[in-house]
Amino acid sequence: MRPAIQEKIDNLNKPKGSLGRLESLAMQICLVQQTLSPSLAHPCHLLLGGDHGIEREGVSVSPREVTWQQMVNFTRGGGGVNMFCRQHGFHLRIVDVGVDHDLSDCPGILNRKIAPGTRNFLHEAAMTEDEMNRAIEVGTELVEQCAEEGCRVVCIGEMGIANTSPSSLWMSLFCDIPLDECIGAGAGLDSPGIGHKRQVLRQALENAGFLRDGGRGTAAAAEQIIRYFGGFEMVTAIGAMLRAAERHVLVLVDGFIMSACALAACRLYPAAKDCMIFGHCGDESGHRRMLDTLGAQPLLSLGLRLGEGTGALCAFPIVDSAVRMINEMNNFQHANITKYF
């Protein structure tokens, strides 16, 4: 369909190429949806919550109870993610896939808990193979439900204290970048805190030394890395991204953690990247390098590091503009304007 899409874009009543990135976005969206008239109908946001065993090692400035406290806060409409979902018309689903707290009686939270947090990957794999597969299935089911409701674009966000730690390890292993260059401040660690985090993650990588041996380019090796270091909310996001690709649903990718999930998803199924639009480059150390490895061009760079999917939601109006451009602008023939190129 590419020639037909390009012809439609070039015949809109504007100088050829004058809308820049909006034109390439429109091309991508049309190709994903396989149509000359794309839609962003029923946008959905999946907010996935899970805790991490590695938090017990003091790698985050925030304690783990903040995960469940924020999850409850989201149900009351008080989070950054709530504000942006309201602003841009996204239907928000708040999902507990691994929070270390009983949220089963909390209205507004979908209970898909796999376990009350992952294990401490300093000493053992974060999850079993069955748990990893279940997390993938939950992500698949969530996107399938959205797609059945007519969703054409899904945004994914996360809530999980210490989840920059597994993201840094995924980045190092999948991108072949020295670990120290992948580790940042997370939610606000000071210099001594970052030093401690580096020490803990170096030791975790050393303890799981077999993962550093060759063959990381295979899907089987990728699954090993995902399972050993991942979080339930992160693996659920991978499942959601893969199902979105299968259903021709656009995925808005958020910051450092969700970009790590996108990276992992692309290691399992490279063509999944075709449906991904990268919302922004965040403030976490290494995010730009991870995006470069993916060949991704983020739409925004606002110094954000909140997570929750907020950066991707901020970028949505640009995506909307690309769709409106190709659907609503007149062409030279209908506007009775001389085509001058």
| 289 to 55, 106, 176, 191: CA distances (angstroms) | 25, 39, 11, 21
Q: Which residue in 173, 175, 179, 172 sits closest to 200, CA to CA?
A: 179
Between CA 154 and CA 127 the distance in angstroms is 26
Q: What is the DSSP string of 267-330?
A: HH-GGGGGGEEE-B--SSTTHHHHHHHHT---SB-------TTHHHHHHHHHHHHHHHHHHHS-
Q: Which of 23, 223, 284, 308 is catalytic?
A: 308
Alpha carbons 251 and 274: distance in angstroms, whole number: 9
DSSP letters spanning 233-271: HHHHHHHHHHHHHHTT-EEEE-SHHHHHHHHHHHHH-GG
Rg of the chain in Å (alpha carbons): 20
Q: Is 308 marked active-site?
A: yes
Nearest to 287 by CA among 154, 162, 181, 133: 181
Which pair of structure tokens corresponds to residue 144? 């399938």
Instruction: Indicate which residues carry an active-site annotation.
Output: 308
